[in-house]
Structure 1
Amino acid sequence: MANNTIIVIGRQFGSGGHEVGKRLADRLDIPFYDRNLIQMAAEELGVSHEKAEEVDETILGKFLSAYVVGSGDYTMHTEGEHGEKPLSDKLFMAQSDIIRRLARRGSCIIVGRCADYILENEFQCINAFIYAEIEDRIRRIMRIYNLTEEEAWTKIKEVDNARKLYYEAHTGSTWGSIESHQMLFNVSLLNISDVVDILAAMYRARR
């Protein structure tokens, strides 16, 4: 475990953070974890993948009525009733445990889900945050999701706000700030290939 190097990547929506992580994993031949963490956590909790997706990287469950699992069905109640935790909290705890186990297993790349905070006391992580100019992000989201410019802009604002609230509620740190991350990469200035090259070099320097 002492030789494991974990690369954790935070990202603005539409910045290409997922692509950076995937290309880097292919380059280094190490596991890559992003949305597959949702499926792992859902299976451990015994809930549907769709329900887990609804609360992934969001803290809405802390403010609204929450879902808990009961006899295979979802029962709505307010947080704290019967001592139950909302699904959002259960999902965060399950993903946190999974992230720690995966990091102990071997070097890997993990995107989002407060992995930098979860692993900071046990591992020396390479911690990067990926961002881009809004025009580039809008074009990327329009292309990937087949949205209009207005729809893409709305989606970016919604997802970024959810990620910011989720990260800051769980970590107490500022999402996307230099104080919270070792490196910030603007892929509008440094393209994705350049960022992958830099992170791959850092990874190999630690091996």
Structure 2
Amino acid sequence: MANKIYTIGREFGSGGREVGEKLAAKLGIKLYDKELLQQAAKDSGFCEEIFENHDEKPTNSFLYSLVMDTYSVSGYSAAPFLDMPLNHKVFLAQFETIKKIAEKESCVIVGRCADYALSDNPDCINIFIHADLDVRIKNVSKNLNITENKARDIINKTDKQRASYYNYYTSKKWGDSKSYNLSLDAGKLGTDNCVEMILKFRELMDAMK
């Protein structure tokens, strides 16, 4: 049987990571979030710090890229790859790791343009988790133990970074329902019901094959 893949895009503070964790636990499959960065570093030969510094953030610092680009990349030695800016190399390495993971096992992948990397995979369901801003502010304020004003600032900054990264590297728009198979409001549904909706969607999709 083909591997079943679930990609989850998410607004910051919406509960997208929690949906992914619960979905993976219910299905007995692995969740890839920050773990994806570790695997991409191992596959590519880049140090993990580079992936962390570029994680869902377009890097505009020419000096940073120039300095960090001195790292050797053993797995990517083709001339066109060596001519790329560092942020493109990091994206491509991550892109390839996502495809390798999907070929190897059923899994849940959070963020990192995974839906775009697996756009030709018929067994991949692409989900976007969102929630009203007030709900997200309360979630972030509680989880990070910060004021609601600070939580609002972090949400705005993180969402802007994620949107810029996604829109730059894909042919789609971050958060637009047309970019995904399912768009779910975790603030209204709750994370458990989001998981049930995803599983029901899979059931219906498989029944149509």
- In structure 1, the partner of 2:139 is 140
- In structure 2, the partner of 1:162 is 161
> How many residues align structurally?
195
Q: CA-to-partner distance for each residue in 1:16-65, whole Å, 9 max, x for gaps?
A: 1000001100000011111111122223344443332121101124x644
- Structure 1 residue 153 and structure 2 residue 158: aligned? no
d(CA) in 2 for partners of 1:49, 1:143: 29
Pairs within 5 Å for 1:101-116: 101-116=100-115
SS of the residue corresponding to residue 117 of structure 1 reads: helix
- Structure 1 residue 40 and structure 2 residue 39: aligned? yes
SS of the residue corresponding to residue 94 of structure 2 reads: helix
Indicate if the aligned counterparts of 1:47 and 1:69 stay in contact, CA closer than 8 A. Answer: no
Indicate if the aligned counterparts of 1:56 and 1:88 stay in contact, CA closer than 8 A. Answer: no
- In structure 2, the partner of 1:120 is 119
Indicate if the aligned counterparts of 1:33 and 1:109 stay in contact, CA closer than 8 A. Answer: yes
Identical amino acids, percent of aligned pairs = 36
d(CA) in 1 for partners of 2:62, 2:149: 28
d(CA) in 1 for partners of 2:121, 2:30: 19
Residue type of the partner of 2:180? H
Instruction: Give ranges in structure 2 of 5+ residues lacking alignment.
Output: 73-81
> So what's the TM-score if we normalise by structure 1?
0.86
- Structure 1 residue 94 and structure 2 residue 93: aligned? yes
Pairs within 5 Å for 1:166-205: 166-204=165-203
Instruction: Give ranges in structure 1 of 5+ residues lacking alignment.
Output: 73-82
Structure having the higher helix fraction is: 2
Relative distance call for 1:94 and 1:165 in structure 2 (3 A) is: same
Relative distance call for 1:3 and 1:46 in structure 2 (3 A) is: closer
Alpha-carbon shift at residue 187 of structure 1 (Å) = 1.1
- Structure 1 residue 54 and structure 2 residue 60: aligned? no
Indicate if the aligned counterparts of 2:46 and 2:71 stay in contact, CA closer than 8 A. Answer: no
Residue type of the partner of 1:16? G
Alpha-carbon shift at residue 192 of structure 1 (Å) = 0.7
d(CA) in 2 for partners of 1:35, 1:119: 18
Residue type of the partner of 2:152? W
Indicate if the aligned counterparts of 1:58 and 1:88 stay in contact, CA closer than 8 A. Answer: no
Alpha-carbon shift at residue 84 of structure 1 (Å) = 4.1
Alpha-carbon shift at residue 204 of structure 1 (Å) = 4.6
Residue type of the partner of 1:13? F
> So what's the TM-score if we normalise by structure 2?
0.85
Q: CA-to-partner distance for each residue in 1:138-181, whole Å, 9 max, x for gaps?
A: 11111222221111111111110010011111112111111111
> CA RMSD, aligned part only?
2.0
Alpha-carbon shift at residue 71 of structure 1 (Å) = 5.7
Indicate if the aligned counterparts of 2:167 and 2:174 stay in contact, CA closer than 8 A. Answer: yes
d(CA) in 2 for partners of 1:51, 1:93: 13
- In structure 2, the partner of 1:17 is 16
